[in-house]
Structure 1
Amino acid sequence: MPRAVTGLPFDDIRNLAASLPHADEAARQGALDRQAQLVKPPGALGRLEEIAVHIAAWQGRPIPKVDRPTVAVFASTHGVASRGVSPYPPEVTKQMVATFTDGKAAVNQICGAFGAGLRVFDLALDLPTPDIVEADAFTEAECAATMAFGMEALAGEPDLLCLGEMGIGNTTVAAAIFHALYGGEAEEWVGPGTGASGEVLERKIEAVRAAVERARGHLDDPLEILRKLGGREIAAMAGAILAARLQHVPVVLDGYVVTAAAALLHRLNPAALDHCLAGHVSAEPAHARVLQKLGLRPILDLGMRLGEGSGAALAIGVVKAAVACHSGMATFAEAGVADA
């Protein structure tokens, strides 16, 4: 049953998610036609062919380009981190943001290797969201405003947007979102994150269990799940995914936390992620399960669990290679090679 329009901020988000633009089917067919003419056996480049056609369909041109790939990393602090749910203290978030700015983190090196721009968004790092075990993460207005802020990731007009995050405690938040969305037991969704084990892992599981129990009664609405259990980086990334769709920019998702933002949109509209690719499957145990639920097949599986957009950034190399083969290879006719 459609929700009544109340004039509240989430109404705009719901309306936006319900009327998202579709891929350009003429561009998709043009890309498929070109693939059939390239000097190779049909399907010989496997997944690269699928990726090239995907990028073409969402950019709206049979021969796509990836000249301005951008990695957007959203950083936020979380009240739940004070519960000792991570082996690292909360101040590491700000320290890592400074490392990004100095160009010394892993994601900086990966972006440099593939010619990608890096934008880091500081989401009020000096003001953690409330501890989700005890209180809602946002008001509705705050949550909607944070989603709108995330849309700024498209300001530089990238032709490929890769999403990443930084925030001590945010795998706890992501696990709570997945537990709220998909049910089961808290421990099914909680993994080591930055290396939690023993008592730290137990505290993490208990925090997820208690936070979802507190939110019980509101779990049928993904925006309410985000408002009650989310973090600023998750809300901002959800906004970025929506903005990319509106501007026909393909998106590459990073790991477990980024996928939490995607999963909320998928619950809002099952077609909301049609323009997205999963950059990789992380070592976080539940990530593969979530990707399967979302119908996303990861490009890479390298056992990574760093976050900060590193897996999505690494997938840029594969995407660029797919597009280069699609645009630069000769056709059978051009090469003078006999077709099958």
Structure 2
Amino acid sequence: MTDPTAAALTGVVPVLPTPFTEDEEVDRRSFAALADHVMGLGVPAVMFPGFASEYYKLDDAERLLLSRDLVTAARAHPGVTVIASVTAHATSVAVRQARAYLDLGAGALNVLPPHFPAPSADHVREHLHTLLAAVAPAPVLLQYAPEDAATRLTPAVIGELAAEHPNLVAVKVEARPPGQFIADLRAAEPAVACLAGSGGLFLLEALRAGACGVQPGSSFVELYLAVWRAWSGGDERAAARRFAGLLPHLVGWATTQEPMVAVEKVIAWRRGLIATPVCRRPHRALSPVAAASVERFLAEFADELSLPHPVRSAR
């Protein structure tokens, strides 16, 4: 098992969104600008395409095109690992998708287990075994998201996978709450490294249970970095204070994927990080309550999140 403190999976590892133009075409210029901004903040790795990227609204060509753009952008940021997310449900397709990302230059893979149409536990384990073996020795991060992708895996099953496949280097835990699940994975033999998911909603609980970092969205990475730097510097009280300011907003936003994606895009747009806040249809628009919450958030964290120059939309 890879050391759970491996640099690429320690700290804040953001998931990049997919910016769109007003007519819902992929906006590569905004994507490149946002990727450059996020990687320039000093994160160890970035991931694409995940739930926060609206991966389920992208075709195969778009996923590969933007992944290639991300690998290219990362060359200007030595030490930043590109994690490509494998989301295909069919095992053979997932293997091809994973190899294509590695061929592009991705440094690691994220794997979302198949969940449609409700595969059996045996089939999910077989899928993961096959994929891990097919891409070895490439490092793999397993995404466990039982709320958003209704596939259930136990810490014991994940531990068995990690013992058999050393390239399973970590798990993104999006169980709610995640503390006991993370503690069980950390107690496995060998211990399994964990990242907190769910937009960082349970970040302090996850860190206290042994998580080595968090994988949030990309529109306010600076705030997660402030929490992480306090925590990793040994000042838990400062980390808790920093997180206490962020938590009330996350509680209102990090309920289901679509509202959180919409919030993240509005914030990134208001900061000038992307040219539009457009989500591809069908999507769930921000409620008036959520929109007002975004305004309070931007006012509260204006000094930490200001960015003076917006980017122009381009396909």
Superposition TM-score, scaled by structure 2 size: 0.33
Higher RCO, 1 or 2 (CA under 8 Å, sep at least 6)?
A: 1
Give the structure with higher Rg (CA): 1
